[in-house]
Amino acid sequence: MDSFEFNKIAGGVLAGAVALLSINIATDSIYRPAALEKQSYIVEGVEVEAATEGPAEVAKPIAFYLASASVEKGEAVFKKCAACHNNEKGGAAGIGPNLYGIVGNSHAHMAGFAYSDALAAMKGKPWNFDELNAWLTSPKAYAAGNKMSFAGIGKPEDRAAVIAYLNAKSDSPLPLPAVPAETAPAAAAPAADAAPAEAAPAE
């Protein structure tokens, strides 16, 4: 094989490779699969972490979780808060304000504490169960610009537990909110149906 013939063959191979490469690039840009937004294979019985942490949880009101919340568990969850918050009666402020009796109390309740403008602007509005739930889900989303450096509690059970615990740390704990009928445990339904109409709680 003389060098001219070799060059012809090498050139051909190179041209082929370039052609293949460009076809590859072209088809890739046409057929590149879009990222799946949802899992396409759902395995029965296997929990998907992202799905259970997502909006599905938000659908149930905190009253549902409060109904079975444990104050002891809430005391354990409060360890996350204790670095910044004292919750004993008359206790001093730490990095955050004292939280004794906070459930039902006003936003920015503690006199003398240097609240952010975000929380100070909400003064007078009561910290009811729903407000506390929203705050503890994401302080940042609840009051942009607030100065509580805490990401939030992902699990509704844990939020309910710590709220129930805070409610107990009070001179006058609030009655737990009623669980809306559509989220009440199914077992409670037949009993309620069987009860005479006049026994229904006045709301």
Interaction site with ligand HEC (CB under 6 A): 80-81, 83-85, 95-97, 99, 102, 107-110, 115-116, 118-119, 127, 135-136, 146-150, 153, 162
Q: Return d(Cα 57, Cα 155) in angstroms, integer.
A: 8
Nearest approach, Cβ of 155 to ligand HEC (angstroms)? 12
Taking the least distance from each CB to ligand HEC, the nearer of 86 and 184 is 86
Taking the least distance from each CB to ligand HEC, the nearer of 169 and 179 is 169
Nearest approach, Cβ of 57 to ligand HEC (angstroms)? 17
Residue 122 · residue 144 · CB < 8 Å: no
Nearest approach, Cβ of 21 to ligand HEC (angstroms)? 55
**Sign of the alpha-carbon torsion through 14, 17, 23, 26:** negative
Taking the least distance from each CB to ligand HEC, the nearer of 104 and 184 is 104
Written as six digits, the tokens of 133 are 């739930």
Taking the least distance from each CB to ligand HEC, the nearer of 63 and 103 is 103
Q: Return d(Cα 95, Cα 85) in angstroms, integer.
A: 7
Token look-up 């602007």 returns 121
Written as six digits, the tokens of 75 are 């005391």
Q: Return d(Cα 87, Cα 109) in angstroms, integer.
A: 13
Nearest approach, Cβ of 71 to ligand HEC (angstroms)? 14
Taking the least distance from each CB to ligand HEC, the nearer of 160 and 179 is 160
Q: Return d(Cα 168, Cα 102) in angstroms, integer.
A: 10
Token look-up 């009623």 returns 178
Amino acid present at 18: V
Nearest approach, Cβ of 55 to ligand HEC (angstroms)? 21
Taking the least distance from each CB to ligand HEC, the nearer of 61 and 146 is 146
Token look-up 């060098």 returns 3
Nearest approach, Cβ of 164 to ligand HEC (angstroms)? 11
